Amino acid sequence: MSYGVPQVVMIGKFDLGERPAIVAVIDEDPAENAKAAKWLGADVLELRLDLLDFSGLEEAKKTIERIKVNTGLPCIATNRVQSDGGKWQGSEDERIALLIDIMPFVDAVDIELSAEEELRHKVIEAAKARRATVIVSAHDLDDTPSLDDMKNTLNSAHEIGADIAKLAVMARTKQDVLNVLQATSEMEKPVCTIAMGQIGKHSRIVAPCYGSCLTYGAIARAVAPGQIKIHELRSALEILF
């Protein structure tokens, strides 16, 4: 039974055509927080490499292996650049290299639409070669673009190879939230959309009704404006889906 996602996309063994996935953002103490996320009702884990203090690739590999044994949940690798709301401190070449190096151990990778074209292409090609799901994301941390601009951004992400186009914008008005939902409903390929901020908080529950195939939740503290805790998302989505 489909809830409106235009085509089937998997993250690991999770079928996004069946229902939207609740993604738990792992930003510290990854092994313990991953277990907590599973207990709270998460379907997928997002490993925020820009927020996790791994000493090197070997530690990251062992931690991810431990997470998968303990939870059985698929993992997304994200190494968010500062201009898109992340905390990465190193060079862009180092950021991209870490994403590519970690790819054999995860099920999906998130790369920004704003990344330099050649480096972005390297990440997408490496993911496709390993049959990892590609999320191409865009963020407007200040405002909500026009409806047409949001649709163009989502389509651009798909054109360069995204399996899922992700767009997070800062909602200032109720109309901003409505425009995000309209953009979501008019997409022909899988998307994840978020209206950030207090006024858009409910979009994290409602957007899946319009076709957003992922919604991101917090284990304890929010890592994005308006983020809802995982168990609250689970309760709401169980009513809707």
- Three-state secondary structure readout of 168-225: EEECCCHHHHHHHHHHHHCCCCCEEEEEECHHHCCHHHHHHHHCECEEEEECCCCCCC
Residue 145, domain member (yes or no): no
Using 50, 70 and 90 to split pLDDT, how confident is the model at 6?
low
Residue of 68, 139, 151, 201 with catalytic role = 139
Residue 67, domain member (yes or no): yes
Residue 55, domain member (yes or no): yes
Contact between 210 and 185 under an 8 Å Cβ cutoff? The reply is: yes
Distance between CA atoms of 113 and 131, rounded to whole angstroms? 20
CA 186 to chain CA mean position, Å: 20
pLDDT at 1 over 50: no
Residue 231, domain member (yes or no): yes
Residue 89, domain member (yes or no): yes
Distance between CA atoms of 225 and 199, rounded to whole angstroms? 10
158 as an active site residue: the answer is no
Q: What is the edge-to-edge ordering of all strands in the sheet holding 164-170?
A: 191-196, 164-170, 133-140, 108-112, 75-78, 44-48, 21-26, 214-218, 228-229
pLDDT at 4 over 70: no
Q: Which domain holds residue 35?
A: 10-132+203-240
Residue 191, domain member (yes or no): no
First-to-last C-alpha distance (Å) of the chain: 10
Residue of 38, 151, 158, 166 with catalytic role = 166
18: domain CATH number is 3.20.20.70
Contact between 30 and 62 under an 8 Å Cβ cutoff? The reply is: no
Residue 180, domain member (yes or no): no
User: Mean pLDDT across the stretch 67-79?
Assistant: 96
139 as an active site residue: the answer is yes
Structure confidence at residue 149 (pLDDT): 98
User: Mean pLDDT across the stretch 138-156?
Assistant: 98
Angle subtended at Cα 129 by Cα 126 and Cα 132, rounded to the nearest 5 degrees: 80
User: Mean pLDDT across the stretch 136-145?
Assistant: 97
Residues 202-225: pLDDT tens digits?
Answer: 999 999 999 999 999 999 876 677
Distance between CA atoms of 180 and 117, rounded to whole angstroms? 26
Tokens standing for 203? 């979009």
Q: How many structural domains does the chain have?
A: 1
